Structure 1
Amino acid sequence: MHLLSLWRLKSYLRPFATVVIVSWIAAVAGIAAGLAIPMVGKEIIDGPIARGDLAALIPLGLLALALGVVEAVMIWLRRWTQGVAVFGVETALRDDLYAHLQRLPMSFHDEWQSGQLLSRATTDLGTIRRFFGFGALFLVMNVIQLVVVTVLLLNLYWPLGLLVAFAAVPIIVVSNRFERRYRTISRTLQDRQGDLATHVEESALGIRTIKAFGRGAHVFSRYDDLAVTVKETALGKVRLSSRFFTFLEIVPSVTLALVLLLGATAVGGGALTLGALVAFTSFVLQLVWPVSSLGFILAMGQEAMTAADRVLEVLDTEPAIVGGALVLDRPRGHLRFEGAGFRFPGADRPVLDDVWLEVRPGETLAVVGATGSGKTTLTALVPRLLDVTSGRVTVDGHDVRDLTLPCLRSIVATAFEEATLFSMSVRENVTLGHRDATDAEVRAALEVAQATFAYDLPWGLDTRIGEQGMSLSGGQRQRLALARAVLGRPRVLVLDDTLSALDVETEALVEDALRHVLADATGIVVAHRASTVLLADRVALLDGGTISHVGTHRELLARVPGYRALLAAEEVLS
């Protein structure tokens, strides 16, 4: 599976096929030039130097110089073309991974730690890039060099050639054992680094809570435990690799010593010329790097294979929510829940069951229910953040699953209770879904959301508000998120308890402005306060995962005791 995962990523090299071919040609040409130099040296020693013919020395010396220049040029060309290809592959992989993460449903992101995804998009892709750029090429180059040099050694003097060939046997045996153990410990280390990244990210996002509760020491203790675990795993990896690398350094050194000893004996006995011994020794020295680098390349290969496994775990996850082919040219926003139900995978009972609701264009429906009754799940079914597991949701008579996702999410806009802002300017946050919005449209949306405070920030709408908008109050963040939702004048506006962080005075101003927006749109408002309920034309009471009552606020107050008790409890809590 590990090797197969890495092999599957080869398709990313296809757009760079020409550059890769040039790189391989340069690599082979460089090896050929490097191997030719010792043979020229042999001819120099056994020819002009042995005979004292200085005139014949000049052309052979120039040939050796030319071969050295060719080798240097080929090394430069190989490295340059390698860089173009591997950085292109890494960029393409990163783009595909990020785009795929955007396609995956909320259920996937709820299950996965953000740090694990982050480590796959950064550390793992870097590991794959380094192997494609160095390890894969040198693995093949070194094998070619080992085979060619061994053949040349056998041709020069077969007894010493056999000695060098037999030296490869213990290397092969130890390498197989090393690969299996290194693969396991590499995956463990990568997973634990992901856990550490998750903890760091959560601590950074929750720094206010940590400080407010004085839990800095506790959070640091947990971080230290994770860091120590990563360190111990990394040290285990280092111990394993250091033993293997040391072994690989010893074998070539011992082999070279034996070659010099036995070769000198052969020269003394006349079985080998001095030039042949020098060439033989040069070839053996050329084997030192391929052999000693074998451990590094194998380690890099194992890390790349486990990294490929981790990346493909994400890329192989099929999006559970896929858009249809239908596009509505003139949507009206007529919304219906027709026996809609939803059950989380593996859950004993559904969150929603047999929900029937109709919200006509221009009408606003408030959804009221106890905590955990499924209000947020109900609103998430409209833009398909979650998909119904029974029944259906329709817009203008069309199942939302038949619409393309861009079409559906241009019709439906959602403002959430937890306002999410990004580390960018106020303008970029507000226009996130409508990048072509004019200044006048942005101002109108800010006025509806009572968020004109943005103009008083140090650089107005161009002020960067920091990660998660932590430099703003909760009410300010909610108002900017609301402005973002109403900016595009959506046909269906979903407000998931969006006004919960506003003070009473600001809430009244926002509600007054929202009435004008909701008059032209289909509205679903998750409400906890009676003041928010008054925004709606009708109210739906969600109880036990289904709609138990629907009517006006006055009607439900008059005839549904549970509704009165729920609103009274919410008002007390607020």
Structure 2
Amino acid sequence: MKALAHLNKYLLKYKWYLVLGTVFTIISNLFGILPAQIVRQSLDLVKDTLDVYFAFQGSSLQSGIRDQFYTTIPYFGFLILLMAIMKGVFLFMVRQTIIVMSRHIEFDLKNEIYAKYQELPMRFFKQHNTGDLMARISEDVGKVRMYVGPALMYGINLVVLIVLVISYMLSVSPKLTFYVLLPLPFLSVAIYYVNSVIMKRSEQIQAQLSTLSTDAQETFSGIRVIKTFVQESFFADKFRAGADEFKKRSLKLVKVDSLFYPLVMVLVGLSNVLVIYVGGQEIINGRLTAGNIAEFIIYLNMMTWPVMAIGWTTSQVQRAAASQQRINEFLNEKTEIVSRKKLMTEVKGKLSFRDVRFVYPDSGIVGLDRFNLEVAAGESVAILGTTGSGKSTLANLIVRMYDPEGEIRVDDVPLKDYEVSYIRRQIGYVPQEVFLFSDTIENNVRFGAGELTMEEVEQAVKDADLYDNIQGFPEGFQTRLGERGITLSGGQKQRLSIARAIVRQPKILVLDDSLSAVDTHTENVILNNLSRIMKDKTSVIISHRVSSAKLADKIVVLDEGKIVESGTHESLMNKGGVYFELHEKQLKTEELS
């Protein structure tokens, strides 16, 4: 239950729903208890009337007694019907308060988790798979809602009903009440024992569900590769095995849950036997009437469903606790990507890297090691190197996806001092792995850029050499892209990503190997357009192609996270080092192709 304490703030926020729900539960149960007393009075009336009726047998008064009896009994029946209707009305009000409250809490909790996901650093997403994240915001939140909704409603109803019923039972016969409640301690022990098993197996089920979600998400995302390599059967078998394990774990939980209902029914049946046996003796001794016994049996049956619901309610609470514990693991996660001073001063674009060293926390791989570089505002720098040399690491550090050792400065101000979202808005970033949203081409270009005219959108697309392609689509800019931009080719996706970055008119432009999927001709067109765009912007061109570096004011060559060469294109060519070798190799490759 400790994990569920996180929900107390929401229960406090919606306290009036809870208070009104409790009041309506009390009123509803009062209307449920009163018919038992009416039944007692009616049965006692029947017995007393029959006794008087037969006592006056043959007398003229006998017909009057009969007529009065026929008039009174329908009145009792009408009262019972009225009580049932009023109970139903207030039960409806209970659901309109407590269940509605649970939907509000579900809404707030999902938003809290989603907001937390967005503020967590990249390190977190490298350590957790997408299926697990989805399971916690959907399946786990659903389990929690069952706790603050139906489970809480039945729990309140149980407490209220027990207090009211036992109070009325004690007022009639303390002795009979004692025998009726005698089996309840045994039920408590059984519940305590079974709950620990339920908790453990619920956690196992949720963990397996996360695995299933991950497998399904990975299959759908990689469906092209799966079909190309004809691995449909392999992945179907893999999912079937996971689903079979989920089924086995669920059936184990069902077996434990199924113990509650037979156990409760046996104990309730035992209570009925005790009521009839002990109550019969009390009638013989003249201390109770037949109406009292009927009243007790009604009270006992009224408690049957709530007591049976103890098992279901407890199971839901335990499942919710297991789910909330999984949710709390994420909500308690701290992000180190925070602003120290929340500066939002104007950015000109000067970049400074001072003894920057970065080691990926999940793998221990050194991305950059003692990296030093100065890039003046409006200057362009090309970062070259082979795969794994640290180029993309540098891009991630500029947009502050990670915090390295050493210091990165923008306009001689530490990057950590800027308000995180503000400094990122000053950067146009084209990632190596392009991600496009399932939306129109126009909205993908406008993404994160605020208010733009259609002319600005078209100009950005023209600069990325994608305009003619878009015009060839039947719906033009309103063409809807599939998941992750699957409608477009690799080169088209890269060019759309470039358009999305430059349309923002950023102070700093970071191109992370953003021309790798386009041909040489298209690359030259885009680079010529970018040379005009980059005139007043600080540009970091990350590439493995030497041709992409020619436009830069300076060139830096990386190897294993360290700078091995730097200078202009001419100076590095004259030096005849690593850059010269890369240039010659790629030149020969282009000639052969």
Q: TM-score range by the shorter chain?
A: over 0.9
> Which residue is 2:422 aligned to?
407
1:438 has 2:453 as partner: yes
> Which residue is 1:447 aligned to?
462
Partners of 1:573 and 1:337 lie apart in 2 by 34
Partners of 1:351 and 1:340 lie apart in 2 by 10
> Which residue is 2:289 aligned to?
273
Q: State the TM-score, normalized to the length of structure 2.
A: 0.92
Indicate the SS of the match to 2:487: coil
Work out whether residues 370 and 566 of structure 1, in 8 Å CA contact, stay in contact via their aligned partners in 2: no
Partners of 1:524 and 1:164 lie apart in 2 by 81
Aligned-residue offset at 1:157: 3.0
> Which residue is 2:39 aligned to?
41
Work out whether residues 428 and 501 of structure 2, in 8 Å CA contact, stay in contact via their aligned partners in 1: yes
Q: State the TM-score, normalized to the length of structure 1.
A: 0.95
| Structure showing greater Rg | 2
> Any residues of structure 2 matched to 1:94-113 within 5 Å, and which?
94-113=110-129
Among residues 399, 405, 409, which one is paired with 1:394 in the alignment? 409
> Which residue is 1:185 aligned to?
201
Query: Which amino acid in the other structure matches residue 260 of structure 1?
Result: I
Kindly tell me: are residues 331 and 35 of structure 1, through their superposed partners in 2, closer, same or farther at Cα, counting changes over 3 Å? same
Work out whether residues 492 and 522 of structure 1, in 8 Å CA contact, stay in contact via their aligned partners in 2: yes
Indicate the SS of the match to 1:519: helix
Kindly tell me: are residues 348 and 125 of structure 1, through their superposed partners in 2, closer, same or farther at Cα, counting changes over 3 Å? closer
Work out whether residues 28 and 86 of structure 2, in 8 Å CA contact, stay in contact via their aligned partners in 1: yes
Percent identity between matched residues is: 28
Aligned-residue offset at 1:337: 0.9
Among residues 7, 10, 16, which one is paired with 2:8 in the alignment? 10
Kindly tell me: are residues 222 and 511 of structure 1, through their superposed partners in 2, closer, same or farther at Cα, counting changes over 3 Å? same
Query: Which amino acid in the other structure matches residue 406 of structure 1?
Result: S
Kindly tell me: are residues 71 and 350 of structure 1, through their superposed partners in 2, closer, same or farther at Cα, counting changes over 3 Å? same
Query: Which amino acid in the other structure matches residue 23 of structure 2?
Result: I
Indicate the SS of the match to 1:351: strand
Partners of 1:162 and 1:270 lie apart in 2 by 19
Aligned-residue offset at 1:543: 2.3
> Which residue is 1:468 aligned to?
484
Partners of 1:571 and 1:163 lie apart in 2 by 97
Work out whether residues 529 and 571 of structure 1, in 8 Å CA contact, stay in contact via their aligned partners in 2: no
Aligned-residue offset at 1:108: 0.3
1:176 has 2:174 as partner: no
Partners of 2:88 and 2:214 lie apart in 1 by 45
Work out whether residues 98 and 153 of structure 2, in 8 Å CA contact, stay in contact via their aligned partners in 1: no
Q: 5-14 or 439-448: which moved more?
A: 5-14
Per-residue CA deviation, residues 176-217 of structure 1 (Å, 9 max, x unaligned), is 111101001001100110111011001101000111111112
> Which residue is 1:426 aligned to?
441
Q: 188-197 or 27-36: which moved more?
A: 27-36
> Which residue is 2:383 aligned to?
367
Query: Which amino acid in the other structure matches residue 515 of structure 1?
Result: S
Among residues 516, 529, 537, which one is paired with 1:500 in the alignment? 516
Aligned-residue offset at 1:143: 2.5
Kindly tell me: are residues 260 and 572 of structure 1, through their superposed partners in 2, closer, same or farther at Cα, counting changes over 3 Å? farther
Partners of 2:478 and 2:388 lie apart in 1 by 39
Aligned-residue offset at 1:328: 3.9
Instruction: Tell me the matched-pair count.
Output: 571
Work out whether residues 46 and 274 of structure 1, in 8 Å CA contact, stay in contact via their aligned partners in 2: yes
Indicate the SS of the match to 2:370: strand
> Which residue is 1:79 aligned to?
95
Aligned-residue offset at 1:89: 0.8
1:149 has 2:165 as partner: yes
Aligned-residue offset at 1:503: 1.7
Among residues 210, 218, 235, which one is paired with 1:202 in the alignment? 218
Indicate the SS of the match to 2:399: coil
Per-residue CA deviation, residues 469-519 of structure 1 (Å, 9 max, x unaligned), is 112111111111111111111000000000101122221211111111111
Partners of 2:475 and 2:27 lie apart in 1 by 59
Query: Which amino acid in the other structure matches residue 443 of structure 1?
Result: E
Indicate the SS of the match to 1:422: coil
Query: Which amino acid in the other structure matches residue 459 of structure 2?
Result: A
Q: 307-316 or 529-538: which moved more?
A: 529-538
Aligned-residue offset at 1:329: 4.3
Query: Which amino acid in the other structure matches residue 408 of structure 1?
Result: I
Query: Which amino acid in the other structure matches residue 494 of structure 2?
Result: Q
Where does the alignment leave 5 or more consecutive residues of structure 1 unmatched?
none
> Which residue is 1:212 aligned to?
228
Q: 199-208 or 30-39: which moved more?
A: 30-39
Where does the alignment leave 5 or more consecutive residues of structure 2 unmatched?
50-64
> Which residue is 1:122 aligned to?
138
Work out whether residues 450 and 509 of structure 1, in 8 Å CA contact, stay in contact via their aligned partners in 2: yes
> Which residue is 2:331 aligned to?
315
Q: 228-237 or 338-347: which moved more?
A: 338-347
Query: Which amino acid in the other structure matches residue 407 of structure 2?
Result: R
Aligned-residue offset at 1:573: 7.5
Indicate the SS of the match to 1:361: coil
Aligned-residue offset at 1:565: 3.0
> Which residue is 1:25 aligned to?
23
> Which residue is 1:490 aligned to?
506
Query: Which amino acid in the other structure matches residue 337 of structure 2?
Result: I
Q: 141-150 or 128-137: which moved more?
A: 141-150
Work out whether residues 121 and 336 of structure 2, in 8 Å CA contact, stay in contact via their aligned partners in 1: yes
Aligned-residue offset at 1:48: 6.3
Partners of 1:421 and 1:191 lie apart in 2 by 30
> Which residue is 1:284 aligned to?
300
> Which residue is 1:340 aligned to?
356
1:417 has 2:439 as partner: no
Partners of 2:543 and 2:200 lie apart in 1 by 52
Work out whether residues 342 and 420 of structure 2, in 8 Å CA contact, stay in contact via their aligned partners in 1: no
Kindly tell me: are residues 348 and 214 of structure 1, through their superposed partners in 2, closer, same or farther at Cα, counting changes over 3 Å? closer
Per-residue CA deviation, residues 248-285 of structure 1 (Å, 9 max, x unaligned), is 23321332244334434543554421111110110011
Aligned-residue offset at 1:365: 0.5
Partners of 1:246 and 1:459 lie apart in 2 by 64
Query: Which amino acid in the other structure matches residue 448 of structure 1?
Result: D
Work out whether residues 431 and 511 of structure 2, in 8 Å CA contact, stay in contact via their aligned partners in 1: yes
Work out whether residues 4 and 324 of structure 2, in 8 Å CA contact, stay in contact via their aligned partners in 1: yes
Partners of 2:571 and 2:95 lie apart in 1 by 77
Q: 262-271 or 530-539: which moved more?
A: 262-271
Partners of 1:70 and 1:454 lie apart in 2 by 65
Partners of 1:138 and 1:277 lie apart in 2 by 27
Indicate the SS of the match to 1:345: coil
Per-residue CA deviation, residues 25-56 of structure 1 (Å, 9 max, x unaligned), is 11111112212221222122223663365355
Among residues 156, 160, 165, which one is paired with 2:176 in the alignment? 160
Partners of 1:346 and 1:202 lie apart in 2 by 20
Aligned-residue offset at 1:387: 1.1
